[in-house]
A and B are shown apart, each in its own frame.
Chain A
Amino acid sequence: MTRLYLYGITHPREVPQRLRDQGVFLVEDDGRAAIVSELDEGPVEATRRNLLAHADVVEQLHEDGVVLPARFGYVLESRDEALELLGLPEVDELLERHEQTCELTLRGKYEESVLGEVGAGLQPLRDAYRAQPSVEIGIALGEAVGEALADRRARDEAFVLGALRPLLLDLVPGNPAGEFAAFDLALLVERNAVKTVEAKLEELAARLSPPLHFKLVGPLPPYSFVRLALPAVA
């Protein structure tokens, strides 16, 4: 029996030729469709190529219609299992909820000059370190800088969120990775509100940059907003 790799769920429609060439097709059932491709035996390898291919499929299809993206790595054992999945009432609810939504990921990152700013209040320690650049004083100064940077992060994140919140349908904060990362936010917005968010971000950048840089990715399918504990299938 053919196993099917699951990319996500959408409404029945034409799959672009580029994706069909990669073996992507739909298993359809009454207004709902599973986005799948056939899969050989064996584990799914979380390689760069496979992860980006998954993202490419759901993002391409999301450009002209709702897509509920699946988490990477789900495999259906048969076409019947795909139909069973599509029959769950939660699927209809989610398709309806996200008909006009998209996700934007917003990452904030500081340039190194932020250390000069947050360190401005640490003059005694800085003087001590300059007079005697020992490991002990260096660590004490570095820890104090780290704390001041954490405060700065919290303040900037609150400010950014305060400004964006009126435009958001929902929000999922992530874990910023890296010592100069400020925040990592998944934003759910109406598709037609993306331009407004961009304009608001320009305003925020005028006030916070430098040292804060923004990276805005999207419109993406609502990866972070399709969490539903689907019940076990009999």
Chain B
Amino acid sequence: MQRESSAGYITRAPRSSGLADVLEILLDRGLVLDAYVRVSLVGIELLTIDLRVVIASVDTYLRFAEAVNRLDLRQVDDSKSVPDLFEKGGEEMAETKTKGAVEGGMDAIKEKIGLGGGKDDDDEEEGSRSRSRGRSNDR
């Protein structure tokens, strides 16, 4: 049971409306009864892991960089409404090109740290170069 108010900027729920609302308070808050058995709990790790987002990651920073570019405010001085931000920012920033560059960057990083993503790079220059480096190191 949820409703939106104030032009959609407040979501109001009189009761917990999903696991995300109650997970932390049920597991970390509430009466703590150290004298009693808190019977072994099964499944906590699975429930909590997807709520813990690592913020300081390269992936996040690159997405921030791409988004901040896309949401450039300079040419939008007559209005700050969200639709304007998206429309004008998107048109002027040649979004696909920027995005391509960022994704290319991620591939390069994944390759550096050994996460090739399962794809074979036979037809890519970058891949064959790193392999030849590997061979020269073996000698």
If over half of B's interface residues share one DSSP class (helix, strand or loop), that class is named, otherwise mixed; here it is mixed
Instruction: Give the bracket for the number of chain B residues in contact with chain A.
Output: 35 or more
Query: How far is A75 from B85 in the complex, measured between Cα atoms in Å?
Result: 54
Query: How far is A126 from B59 in the complex, measured between Cα atoms in Å?
Result: 18
Can you name the residue of chain B whose Cβ is closest to the Cβ of A72?
Answer: B26
If over half of A's interface residues share one DSSP class (helix, strand or loop), that class is named, otherwise mixed; here it is mixed
Pick the residue among A122, A175, A184, A230 that contacts B33 (CB under 8 A): A230
Can you name the residue of chain B whose Cβ is closest to the Cβ of A49?
Answer: B19
**Chain A residues closer than 8 Å to B117, beta-carbon distance:** none
Query: Does the CB pair A138–B6 fall under 8 Å?
Result: no
Query: How far is A138 from B16 in the complex, measured between Cα atoms in Å?
Result: 39
Interface size of A by Cβ–Cβ distance < 8 Å? 89
Query: Does the CB pair A48–B19 fall under 8 Å?
Result: yes
Partner-A contacts on B (CB < 8 A):
5-19, 21-44, 47, 51-53, 55-56, 58, 60-69, 71-74, 82, 85-86, 89, 93, 98, 101-102, 105-106, 108-109
Partner-B contacts on A (CB < 8 A):
6, 8-9, 43-48, 51-52, 54-56, 59, 68-77, 81, 85, 105, 111-113, 115-120, 122-123, 126, 129-130, 133-135, 137-139, 141-143, 145-146, 149, 172, 174-175, 177-179, 184, 186, 198, 201-202, 205-206, 209-220, 223-224, 226-233
